[in-house]
Amino acid sequence: MRYCLILIAMMIAPMAQACGEDTDCVVGDRVYRISMPEGQTGAVGAVIWAHGYRGSAAGVMRNGSLRKMVHAQGLALIAAQGVNGSWDLPKGPRTFNSTGASELEYFEAVIADVSSQFGIDTTRLVASGFSAGGMMVWNLACARPDAFAGFVPISGTYWLQPPVSCATPVASIVHLHGNRDTTVPLDGRVIGETRQGKVSDALAMYAAHGRFGDVKETTTEALHCSDQTNPDNAILEFCLFEGGHSFRTEYLAYGLGRLKKVGGL
């Protein structure tokens, strides 16, 4: 009888540790969720998505359109999870004096875990996110450019002002934003004793940091973009779409396509 109980416990333990798009994966005192493309064999790349304010990894996984689009690119979708639906960002209204180090450590832990547990190809990672998640992505692009093949922040930028300097190597960034966004306006807005920064300031800082060249204007059916390239073939692209503080999976698909074209993904 005792032997049977031990055997049952051994069988249940792996099941309890399993995680995916419906169950949290635990890293330290934080969690994430992951959705793998069906039928994919071998190591795959992934989009690590940062949710907006008061969002959750579980909420991201309920977005079937997002999962379907990312899987169609042959990539896994990894939903990062902020603490109580928020990200610890420097100069934020409740995190003004933060260095953001705790978030950098969290994303490093997630990357290590998805590599060991799911065989994710860590040379093919893209960080993307919407609103506060887009702010998180800008901070990752500046502080951990070597951890990702590229960055696609959507409708989010730095709090107050960009960092004075960023780490190298210079990353490829495709930023998308609504031209009538009043929640995270292009020119920023005051919130409490701080303010959302100007998107133009973030782009100018990174253009100087990466020695990006002349601006080339391009237009698609849904986007008007300003594209710059640097001597190492990295891209810095700023795309406006018609509308306010919103997100469509097509915008992320565009960003992933641009990263693929320049060999970043």
CATH of the domain at 223: 3.40.50.1820
In a domain, 213, yes or no: yes
- Residue 11 belongs to what H/E stretch? helix 2-17
Measured between alpha carbons, how far is 56 from 179 in angstroms, rounded to an integer? 26
In a domain, 4, yes or no: no
pTM: 0.92
In a domain, 14, yes or no: no
Q: What is the pLDDT along the chain (265 residues), one digit of tens a residue?
A: 444 434 443 444 444 448 999 999 999 999 999 999 988 767 899 999 999 999 999 999 999 999 999 999 999 999 999 999 999 999 999 999 999 999 999 999 999 999 999 999 999 999 999 999 999 999 999 999 999 999 999 999 999 999 999 999 999 999 999 999 999 999 999 999 999 999 999 999 999 999 999 999 999 999 999 999 999 999 999 999 999 999 999 999 999 999 999 887 8
In a domain, 195, yes or no: yes
What is the domain count for the chain? 1
3-state secondary structure of 217: strand
- Residue 126 belongs to what H/E stretch? strand 125-130
Nearest to 247, CA basis, from 173, 158, 174, 155: 155
In a domain, 13, yes or no: no
Q: Which residue range forms the structural domain that includes residue 74? A: 19-261
